[in-house]
Amino acid sequence: MAITFEVNGKSKTVEVDPGTPLLWVLRDTLNMTGTKYGCGIAQCGVCTVLINGAAQRSCSVPVSLVAGKPVTTIEGLSTGNTHPVQQAWIAEQVPQCGYCQSGQIMTTVAFLKQNPKPTAAEVDAAMSHNICRCGTAQRIRKAVLRAAAAMQAALPQGGAR
Amino acid sequence: MTNVADRAVFSRRGLLKSAVGAGAVLLIGFDVSRTAKGAASAPVSPFRSWLRIDQNGAVTLLSGRSEMGQGISSALPMVLADELGIDWKDVLVEQAPNDAALFGEQGTGGSGSVAGSWLGLRQAAAAARTMLVAAAAQRWSVAPESCTVKNGAVTHGSSRFTFSELVESAAKLPLPDFNKVTLKKPAEFQIIGKVVSRKDIPSKTDGTAIFGIDVRPPGMLYAMVERCPVFGGKVKSFDAGAAKSMPGVQDVFEIDAVPSVHSWGGVAVVAESTWIAMQARKKLRIDWDLGPHANESSESLRAEFRRVVDSRLKTIINQGDTDAALAAASENKRVEADYELPFQAHATMEPMNCTVLVDGDRAEVWVPAQGPEWVLGTVAEVTGLKPAAIKINTTLLGGGFGRRYHADFAAEAGQIAKKVPGKPVQLIWSREDDMTHDFYRPASYHRLSGAVDEKGNILAWRHRSTSTPIAEWWSPKAAPESSELGCTTQMPYLATNYKLEYLPSKSGVPRAWWRSVEASSIGFVMEGYVDELAHAAGIDPLTFRISKLDSRLVKDPTNKKAVPLDTARLKGVLQLAAEKSGWNAKLPHGHGRGIAAHYSFNSYVANVVEVSVVGNQLKVHRVVSAVDIGTPVSPDGIRAQVESAIIYGLTAALKSQITIKDGRAVQSNFDRFSTLAMNETPLIEVHIVPSTLPPTGIGEPGLPPTAPALTNAIFAATGKRIRRLPVVPTDLV
């Protein structure tokens, strides 16, 4: 069955079983491997992408549910690592093995859209459902706050909103 | 990969006399010590890595070390760049092809990459620098000593030659004796010891980093394997009809067990996508021979542990007369304690995978491996191809922690690819496969008995233990205890009488090297128990430890090759961690501070943990770590590794374990194998002892003192002594 949706601004049509999770369509059908497989049961967050701007676990979203919707993956976040969240990740030297970081970054992007001026406790709560076995949590915490500050500073009128 | 792997141009002693390809190059090999475990022992080149300077001046490190997050693809170039005299950013790193004849045995583990490469890498770089300087000095007709090297150029007064201008003539000079080249003095280091931005990070923030699971050679198929859920079980018979008839399924067949790598065998499904393979696998009907371990459980193993620890054990060390000293000690100064640790899974975020193409008499492998050479030997074994006909591409690793030292996934992938010739096949393990067919950190049981006198001297310390030993699986000819005792064979604390006893216990559960290996268990036991002795003596736990660590070198009576433990360095990290944590500062009610120090991988780490306990609710507030690992090559990399090891250790102490029921692992995914979440993650500070000694490892040594510092802190807060991990809420009240 043909399903059409938008990935990083480009229309894609795939011929797959409609029950196939979006994760495997991205990875195996579209060869977009920046989105990772970690658990398959929406527990670890490494497969997080944005669907209509909201963070979703792509391992547990059948592709039929994204028909006609815009999907953003790590590959579509910016060109040249220029998104403030990516910049903060590099500045804080967050990744170790790096396998979970696409999901961490996409979760952060969605979170900061909802809560542009989070407290440290709000960051902790928002990021507590993404697993990193390398233990980068402390650096992720700093990077999220750094990205929030950078995004506020970049707003017109000095970040008031 | 460049054409450097043209073996004809390599001379055995490392200097390339002729050109590789189009450009003249200077190519120098150097030896680094081996850390490989269990790898094949074919003849190997003495050179494991190569430094190459191309005609355009580009400097490349060909490294056989795998990048699994530990930052080795940045730390090694720092050492090279500093000694050679170029900007660190100008060093390119290439993953060396897996060719034992050219690059020697490869393997990444044992916290050994920087420590093992330190001297050889510097000697190679210094030799290259010496040759470049000699070439420049000849052209200027000046003394080499009057030249300086900086930023990829040799200068003399106002004259200057870049490396690219010198490389052709330098390559014609004789290779200096590595033992006579002048190495930089620590005071001259420009890059070593500085904070740098890791080279691999940008690719890990934009999705372009390629892990093993991400390779996509053209025409690739996907495979999964259904294995017997019971450890040691095998296929009796199976019906593949329903699976085979699914659209997108290419083939279904049985694969064999491969005992050399403890691979289980099973039924493989090959399909057009991972998802189809996963769905088809569910339709397999398999009748299993459950094998001899189907009745094993955590309870039965615990009973076995307690039976063994009560039996007559093998005496490993007996200094003084410990049994008599214990018998003579007064009841109120004796401390009896049983410690227990469970199996632990590695749970790398990237599940095991391996991609293989068998094409005629050749094969190509893409694999995230700590031991690519073992993968090579295993693929050769299962395909019948010659190792020289197999090309191994080591990708980035989505976590290693010891799990990726193995080659069981390669045994499966090689067999599958052989049945689908001409097509690359990516074998992916599901998370459930990964967690239920790991090689686990051994479970263990420890019975400690000891006594202190009125002045706080340790009169006796007896450590009796049993475990499911690693050696039994991977070095069956070695004594089972050889993999299990860690620092108990180098007791740092002064004790009048010390006795160490051990016997293995029977279990069918697979086991192997987990982050920090046996130190993860031994550190918990020793540092928990010394805290108990301090308490029995009525002495502050820091003061008590310090008083037992004068200035001694403690040798390992069971292993002549072990580096002696320097008690002064252990004392040093304890004092630094105590100072930075404000050890003597008052804490709010309900808070407690615990300390622990441990020697592992020739490194010294002390951690201070601060917790609060309200009812059965525990919060870990802060961890202050002090490390002495000799010369700190990459300080931010060191901090990252210690933060990582502490969080890995806290997860094992507070959240995760593998329990056994009906001969199988109970936990199969992150719903039941939980990990420390960000809102449970303490603030972590890492302090590095300045040193000019040769560097030692840091991937693992931060872990062993984490759990005991935590439980010692819980004791300080609540008076509850925890001797069994992981901590559960009922331990706290």
Answer whether A41 touches B (CB < 8 Å): yes
Q: Whole-number mean pLDDT of chain A? A: 96
Token duo for residue B93: 């790193």
Q: Which of A31, A99, A104, A124 to mutate to test the interface with B (most CBs of B within 10 A)?
A: A99
Above 0.95 for ipTM, yes or no? yes
B402 interaction partners in chain A (CB closer than 8 Å):
none
B483 φ, ψ to 5°?
-105, 5
Is there a contact between B677 and A128 if contact means CB atoms under 8 Å apart?
yes
A145 interaction partners in chain B (CB closer than 8 Å):
none
Token duo for residue B352: 């095991």
Q: Residue B109's CB: how many other CB atoms inside 10 A?
A: 24
The helix (run of H) or strand (run of E) holding residue B574 is helix B567-581
Is residue B459 within 8 A of residue B498, CB to CB? The reply is no
Is there a contact between A98 and B680 if contact means CB atoms under 8 Å apart?
no
B211 interaction partners in chain A (CB closer than 8 Å):
36, 99
B636 interaction partners in chain A (CB closer than 8 Å):
93
Q: Where are the domains of chain A?
A: 2-76, 84-159
Is residue B604 within 8 A of residue B709, CB to CB? The reply is no
Q: Nearest CA to CA, how far is B346 from chain A (Å)?
A: 9
Question: Which A residues 58-77 touch B at CB under 8 Å?
Answer: 73-75, 77
B171 φ, ψ to 5°?
-65, -20
Q: Enumerate domains of chain B plus CATH numbers.
A: 3-204 (3.30.365.10), 212-291+352-428 (3.30.365.10), 298-345+439-731 (3.30.365.10)
CB nearest to A102's CB, from B201, B207, B401: B207
CB nearest to B671's CB, from A36, A41, A81: A41
B213 interaction partners in chain A (CB closer than 8 Å):
33, 36-37
| Range with the poorest average pLDDT among B21-35, B210-224, B574-588 | B21-35
Q: Which of A8, A119, A138, A144 to mutate to test the interface with B (most CBs of B within 10 A)?
A: A138
B210 interaction partners in chain A (CB closer than 8 Å):
33
B680 interaction partners in chain A (CB closer than 8 Å):
128
d(CA B668, CA B430): 10
CB nearest to A24's CB, from B216, B273, B643: B273
d(CA B165, CA B147): 15
For the entire predicted model, the pTM comes to: 0.95
Residues B552, B558, B564: CA angle, nearest 5 degrees: 25
Give the pLDDT of residue B331.
86
CA A7 vs CA A47, A70, A78, B208, B483: distances in Å:
15, 6, 13, 16, 51
Q: Nearest CA to CA, how far is A109 from chain B (Å)?
A: 12
Query: Of B549, B559, B526, B546, which Cα lies nearest the Cα of B705?
Result: B526
Above 70 in pLDDT, residue B101? no
Sign of CA dihedral A76, A82, A85, A88: positive
Is residue B233 within 8 A of residue B509, CB to CB? The reply is no
Is residue B426 within 8 A of residue B222, CB to CB? The reply is yes
* pLDDT tens digits, B377-393: 999 999 999 999 999 99
Partners of B612 in the β-ladder: B591, B619
Q: Nearest CA to CA, how far is A59 from chain B (Å)?
A: 10
Is there a contact between B274 and A34 if contact means CB atoms under 8 Å apart?
no
Query: Of B579, B627, B636, B585, which Cα lies nearest the Cα of B606?
Result: B627
Answer whether A144 touches B (CB < 8 Å): no
Is there a contact between A127 and B347 if contact means CB atoms under 8 Å apart?
no
Q: Into which CATH architecture does domain A2-76 fall?
A: Roll (3.10)
Between 3.30.70.1020, 3.30.1360.30, 3.40.50.720, 1.10.150.120, what CATH number should domain A84-159 receive? 1.10.150.120
**Confidence band (pLDDT; 50, 70, 90) for B40?**
very low
Partners of B685 in the β-ladder: B624
Could you report how far apart the first and last alpha carbons of chain A are, in Å?
A: 45
Q: Nearest CA to CA, how far is B399 from chain A (Å)?
A: 5
Give the pLDDT of residue B49.
60
Nearest CA in chain A to B195: A93
d(CA A39, CA A157): 43
**Confidence band (pLDDT; 50, 70, 90) for B21?**
very low
Query: Of A56, A63, A55, A50, which Cα lies nearest the Cα of A21?
Result: A63
Partners of B30 in the β-ladder: B49
A63 interaction partners in chain B (CB closer than 8 Å):
none
d(CA B82, CA B121): 11
d(CA B351, CA B562): 34
Beta strands B266-271; B221-226: pairing state: antiparallel
Is there a contact between B351 and A135 if contact means CB atoms under 8 Å apart?
no
**Confidence band (pLDDT; 50, 70, 90) for B99?**
low
Taking each continuous run of H as one helix and of E as one strand, the counts in chain A are 5, 5
CB nearest to B214's CB, from A24, A33, A95: A33
What's the mean pLDDT in A28-37? Answer: 98
Task: Give the residue, B63 or B357, on which the prediction is more confident.
Answer: B357
Residue at B551: amino acid letter: S
Is residue B462 within 8 A of residue B448, CB to CB? The reply is yes
Q: For the residues of B266-312, what is the DSSP string, one character each?
A: EEEEEESSHHHHHHHHHT-EEEEE-GGGTT--HHHHHHHHHHHHTS-
Partners of A3 in the β-ladder: A14
Q: Which of B73, B200, B205, B667 to mutate to test the interface with A (most CBs of A within 10 A)?
A: B205
Beta strands B249-255; B266-271: pairing state: antiparallel
Above 60 in pLDDT, residue B671? yes
d(CA B156, CA B136): 9
Residue reference for tokens 């980093």: B209
d(CA B540, CA B557): 31
A135 interaction partners in chain B (CB closer than 8 Å):
643-648, 676, 681
Helix axes B113-140, B163-170, angle to 10 degrees: 90
Is there a contact between B349 and A73 if contact means CB atoms under 8 Å apart?
no
Token duo for residue B308: 């063994």
What's the mean pLDDT in B132-138? Answer: 96
Q: Please state, for a pLDDT cut of 90, what percent of chain B lies above it.
A: 83
Is there a contact between A44 and B428 if contact means CB atoms under 8 Å apart?
no
Partners of B600 in the β-ladder: B603
Give the pLDDT of residue B58.
87
Q: What is the number of alpha carbons within 13 Å of residue B505 lying toward its C-beta?
A: 27
Question: Which A residues 74-93 touch B at CB under 8 Å?
Answer: 74-75, 77-78, 80-81, 86, 89-90, 93
* pLDDT tens digits, B307-345: 999 999 999 999 999 999 999 998 889 999 999 999 999
Residue at A121: amino acid letter: A
Could you report how far apart the first and last alpha carbons of chain B are, in Å?
A: 60
Which of A154-158, B52-56, B407-411 has the highest mean predicted lDDT (pLDDT)?
A: B407-411
Is residue B196 within 8 A of residue B88, CB to CB? The reply is yes
Q: For the residues of B649-679, what is the DSSP string, one character each?
A: HHHHHHT--B-EETTEES--STTTS----GG
d(CA B497, CA B323): 9
Is there a contact between B204 and A74 if contact means CB atoms under 8 Å apart?
no
Q: Residue B302's CB: how many other CB atoms inside 10 A?
A: 16
Q: For the residues of B27-79, what is the DSSP string, one character each?
A: EEEE------SS-------S-SEEEEE-TT--EEEEE----SSS-HHHHHHHH
Is there a contact between A86 and B683 if contact means CB atoms under 8 Å apart?
no
B68 interaction partners in chain A (CB closer than 8 Å):
97
Is residue B203 within 8 A of residue B406, CB to CB? The reply is no
Answer whether A118 touches B (CB < 8 Å): no
B687 φ, ψ to 5°?
-115, 135
User: B205-230: buried (b, 16+ CB within 10 Å) or exposed (e) per residue?
Assistant: bbbebbbbbbbeeeebbbbbbbbbbb
Give the pLDDT of residue B359.
97
**Confidence band (pLDDT; 50, 70, 90) for A161?**
very low
The helix (run of H) or strand (run of E) holding residue B124 is helix B113-140
Give the pLDDT of residue B36.
30
d(CA B318, CA B499): 4
DSSP character for B330? -
CB nearest to B669's CB, from A28, A41, A96: A41
Give the pLDDT of residue B395.
95
Q: Residue A115's CB: how many other CB atoms inside 10 A?
A: 13
DSSP character for A14? E
d(CA B26, CA A155): 52
Token duo for residue A31: 């060869």
Q: Residue B609's CB: how many other CB atoms inside 10 A?
A: 32
Contacts of B433 (CB under 8 A, 6+ apart): B224, B225, B227, B351, B352
Is residue B19 within 8 A of residue B6, CB to CB? The reply is no
* pLDDT tens digits, A95-111: 999 999 999 999 999 99
Is residue B27 within 8 A of residue B52, CB to CB? The reply is yes
Is there a contact between B200 and A131 if contact means CB atoms under 8 Å apart?
no
CB nearest to A134's CB, from B430, B644, B683: B644
